[in-house]
Amino acid sequence: MIPAQQHETFRRCAGEEFPPEIVKAANDELEELVRILEAEGVTVRRPDPIPQGQVYSTGAWATTGMYAAMPRDAILVVGDQIIECPMAWRSRYYENLAYRPLIKEYFRNGAKWVAGPKPELTDELYDLDWTESAQGEPTNLVVTEFEPTFDAADFLRFGRDIIGQKSNVTNEFGIEWLRRTLGDEYRVRVLEFDDAHPMHIDATLAPLAPGKLLINPERVPEIPKMFRNWEVRAAPAPVIPDSHPLYMTSKWINMNILMLDEERVVVEAEDEPMIKFFKDWGFTPIPCNFRNFNSFGGSFHCATLDVRRSGSLETYVD
């Protein structure tokens, strides 16, 4: 995930405030994204800021918050259900509250609203002796099976099929909780990729349209059988320079695009190879500056959460 040349920065700055000039630049980019989405006919709703600097504690531990910039991580929307995720990071314990005013409103208008079991996040949830797994060995994950945890961004929705992965924030317990909560109408299926530090599936696979899948060529050496009837193409290599700060993500955040429908795709404005790639494939790329936002660990998919799309529930994969 975090590029090697940024590890030192992460160690030095973890727990500190993000540099204000990058926050400001990222905010400007977010406003640009809102303008673009609205111009394309999307209804955009924003969360309410919640204080992040205040210390909070469950008794077992105490921390401050991180941010509420990535609705895709905290909230999972499947059909008419809104699911608040039991997230594994202590610094993200209250992130859901930023979305509560919106969720209450959606609930009043008919949505179903459920929340994962509130996790304890005690030391038993974390493998405190975690080490990098050896080449060719199964990936060591930092979360244990102490209690269910997952981030919504470890799941992608393909109609009836919800495709997810185990990661450093999503355990089997959490996946099973989600499977039973969604019930028989959905199939929750788990895939494994070549990713030494999995956290979120949305820089590994991206469904673009029925039958069209974008994959990360480094992490998906073999196309999963369920996509055998799909046209699958590898994302072009990222062009983010080494000098650009990426606090919580790999450069593959370049493939964290947002599909508005089966043709229109929001793409980072400086990512010329990606813009060309989509044009060549018959899509309509819509460029938006987002590189400063990328520094915080996400791009267009992470920064948004589509709560309402038209269409019916269908089966797309084998």
Under the criterion CB under 6 A, does residue 256 sit at the interface with ligand DAV? yes
Considering only residues 118 to 137 of the shown chain, the ones binding ligand DAV according to CB under 6 A are none
Residue among 65 and 71 whose Cβ is closer to ligand DAV? 71
Considering only residues 153 to 182 of the shown chain, the ones binding ligand DAV according to CB under 6 A are 153
- Residue for token pair 């997810």: 164
Cα 315 to the chain's mean position, in Å? 23
Q: Give the residue, chosen from 266, 302, 305, 317, that forms a contact with ligand DAV under the rule CB under 6 A.
A: 302
Under the criterion CB under 6 A, does residue 249 sit at the interface with ligand DAV? yes
SS3 63: strand
CA distance linking residue 96 with residue 119, whole number of Å: 13
Under the criterion CB under 6 A, does residue 298 sit at the interface with ligand DAV? yes
Under the criterion CB under 6 A, does residue 208 sit at the interface with ligand DAV? no
SS3 24: helix
Under the criterion CB under 6 A, does residue 200 sit at the interface with ligand DAV? yes
Residue among 157 and 200 whose Cβ is closer to ligand DAV? 200
Using CB atoms within 10 Å of the CB of residue 13, give its burial: 0 to 12 exposed, 13 to 18 middle, 19+ buried.
Answer: middle
If we measure between CA atoms, which residue out of 234, 230, 198 comes closest to residue 316? 230
Stretch that binds ligand DAV, among 56-64, 76-84, 179-187, 249-257 (CB under 6 A): 249-257
* DSSP string for residues in 247-291: SS--GGGGG--EESSSSEEEEETT-HHHHHHHHHTT-EEEEE--H
CB of residue 255 to ligand DAV, shortest distance in Å: 9
Stretch that binds ligand DAV, among 111-119, 267-275, 296-304, 309-317 (CB under 6 A): 296-304
| Torsions phi, psi for 205 (to 5 deg) | -130, 145
Catalytic residue flag (residue 202): no
Stretch that binds ligand DAV, among 92-100, 125-133, 194-202, 287-295 (CB under 6 A): 194-202
Catalytic residue flag (residue 73): no
Report which residue type is found at 99: Y
Under the criterion CB under 6 A, does residue 285 sit at the interface with ligand DAV? no
Catalytic residue flag (residue 195): no
CB of residue 196 to ligand DAV, shortest distance in Å: 11
Confirm if 247 and 26 have CB atoms less than 8 A apart.
no
Under the criterion CB under 6 A, does residue 295 sit at the interface with ligand DAV? no
Residue 89, number of CB atoms within 10 A of its CB: 18
On the CB side of 48, CA atoms within 13 Å amount to 11
Q: Which among 73, 151, 154, 202 is annotated as catalytic?
A: 151
Residues with Cβ within 8 Å of residue 194, at least 6 apart in sequence:
218, 219, 220, 221
Q: Give the residue, chosen from 202, 259, 295, 296, that forms a contact with ligand DAV under the rule CB under 6 A.
A: 202
Considering only residues 23 to 42 of the shown chain, the ones binding ligand DAV according to CB under 6 A are none
Residues marked as catalytic: 151, 200, 302
Per CB under 6 A, residues contacting ligand DAV are 1, 153, 199-200, 202-203, 249-250, 252-253, 256, 297-298, 302
